[in-house]
């Protein structure tokens, strides 16, 4: 068994789900392994990683609306607002969706299901530059 | 260190938590490793994986009721309904509970706590056939 | 590649987020690896693990208030109360925040972002002794 590590960088365009499956698969392919485990780790507290439906765009809009409902930008609800009204809702969304995910590599391909994509979930209103640490261990 | 990969298949019986600890432990035992890391990955966007209490069945009913409350089958809330009213609530539940989990293998046994079981969480109303990709890396 | 496994023990002081980054980093440093993957696993169903903001203490208070809102200690909502009114809300919080997390090790350091800390999230009202299983695989 051997391993590869790297930092992938992405520019988001503000709040919402941004698919990064292509960039992730390209990096995995470059490591030329057949079986193993890929782990992605988002180095931020106001963005996260999510496996989600990659077909219907309404899913992403509905997910966004869901998180607005349970963690609204309502100043009356939060004490922490150092970076604006989207600051604390962002931390809550990141806590609920996680900043890390691992995907098995089997037969030379990530074991994603037919309808699964890997998404970087930006929780801040404005665009941000985001770093994702990657580890692939296998052979 | 070496590794084993596989796909485990399960038939759910509709919405709810289905314990899969036994099948997972059996597969791990067959790999005959002592220390390592097991990773499970659910290849679907409307089912997920969860570590939960394995003693009181009321916990599973209460969990089910909780998710019905925060992500109800209310057509007024979602645009995405390609596969019926349980479609979008399923994606939300999967986003909140995650499709991947890893468990350390220590001293020849998974390091689950005394009250922890591994559950496949079916979010669709009807029964489905589900695939879980497994990777065990260790020695 | 090689691996190290261990069980770290912590005493919480009741409900809330307790930072454990220091203890985790110390254990990782003792294994003297440069690149790899650290996995932490909380062996309980009423405590969990979370990566969160490590600067503003208001974030932790706001997170606590958020979980009180969506999973309140309201006996009318739950059937399971074997260990008191904080029992079922604890299982829900653990389901939403997960009991496992993995962090890449790159260049001899965990790839945590500048504002990220590792937290043990105690969900029970009273203090508890908690065990976290650790696996570090790398070289």
Task: Please report the pLDDT score of residue C56 as a whole number.
Answer: 85
Q: Which chain A residue has the Cα nearest residue B1?
A: A1
Residue B66 in this model has a pLDDT that exceeds 90:
yes
> From C82, which residue of chain B is nearest by alpha-carbon distance?
B56
Window 62-101 of C, Cβ < 8 Å to B = 70-71, 77-80, 82, 88, 91-92, 94-96, 98-100
- Residue of chain C nearest A72, judged by CA positions: C66
pLDDT at residue A103, rounded to an integer: 98
Give the A:B interface size as CB pairs under 8 Å. Answer: 97
Question: What is the mean pLDDT of the segment spanning C113-132?
Answer: 97
pLDDT at A56: 85
* Predicted TM-score (pTM) of this structure: 0.97
Contact C18, C24 (CB under 8 A): no
- Compute the nearest-CA separation of A67 from chain B (Å): 9
Give the pLDDT score at A91: 96
Q: What is the DSSP string of A107-135?
A: TTEE---TTEEEEEEE-SSS--EEEEEEE
How does residue B83 score in pLDDT terms, banded at 50, 70 and 90?
A: confident
Measured between alpha carbons, how far is B50 from A120 in angstroms, rounded to an integer? 22
As a whole number of angstroms, the distance between CA A71 and CA C88 comes to 21
d(CA B116, CA A10): 37
What distance in Å separates residue B51's CA from the closest CA in chain C?
Answer: 7
Nearest-by-Cβ selection for A1 from B2, B71, B133 = B2
Asked if A44 contacts A52 with a C-beta cutoff of 8 angstroms, the reply is no
What are the residues facing B10 on neighbouring strands? B130
* Minimal C-alpha gap between C78 and chain B (Å): 6
Establish how many alpha carbons lie within 13 A of residue A38's alpha carbon, considering only the half-sphere containing its beta carbon. Answer: 29
3-state secondary structure of B58: helix
Angle of CA points C78, B96, C99, to nearest 5°: 80
Please name the helix (run of DSSP H) or strand (run of DSSP E) that holds residue C61, with its range, or none: helix C57-70
Mean pLDDT of C110-130: 97
Question: Reading across the β-sheet that carries C116-122, which strands appear in turn?
Answer: C16-19, C116-122, C47-53
CB contacts under 8 A, A 30-69 vs C, are 37, 39, 41-45
Average of per-residue pLDDT values in chain C:
96
Q: Packing angle between helix B57-70 and helix C87-97, nearest 10 degrees?
A: 60
Q: In sequence order, which residues have a C-beta less than 8 Å from that of residue A73 and are 6 or more positions away?
A: A85, A86, A89
Positions of chain A with pLDDT lower than 70, given as ranges: none
The set of residues, in sequence order, having a beta carbon less than 8 Å from that of C80 and lying 6+ positions away, is B56, B58, B59, B61, B62, C87, C88, C91
Indicate if the pLDDT at residue B27 is higher than 90. Answer: yes
Q: Which residues contact A1 (CB under 8 A, 6 or more apart)?
A: A36, A137, A138, A139, B1, B2, B3, B137, C1
Over residues C1-46, the pLDDT tens digits come to: 999 999 999 999 999 999 999 999 999 999 999 999 999 999 999 9
A contact test, residue of B80, B97, B103 with most A CBs within 10 A: B80
Of C14, C25, C15, C11, which is closest to residue C134 (Cα–Cα)?
Answer: C25
Alpha carbons C78 and C73: distance in angstroms, whole number:
9
The torsion angles phi and psi of B47, rounded to 5 degrees, stand at -150, 155
Per the CB < 8 Å rule, is B113 touching C43? yes
Contact B1 C5 (CB under 8 A): no
């Amino acid at each position: 068994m051997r391993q590869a590590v790297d930092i992938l960088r992405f520019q988001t365009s503000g709040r919402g789900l941004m698919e990064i499956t292509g960039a992730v698969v390209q990096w995995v392919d470059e490591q030329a392994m057949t079986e193993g485990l890929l782990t992605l780790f988002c180095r931020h507290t106001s963005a996260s990683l999510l496996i989600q439906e990659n077909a219907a765009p309404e899913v992403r809009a509905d997910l966004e609306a869901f998180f607005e409902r349970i963690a609204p930008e309502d100043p009356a609800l939060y004490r922490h607002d150092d970076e604006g009204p989207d600051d604390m809702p962002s931390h809550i969304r990141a806590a609920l969706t996680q900043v890390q995910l691992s995907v098995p590599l089997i037969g030379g391909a990530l074991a994603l299901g037919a309808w699964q994509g890997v998404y970087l979930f930006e929780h801040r209103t404005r665009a941000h530059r985001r770093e994702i640490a990657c580890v692939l261990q296998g052979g």
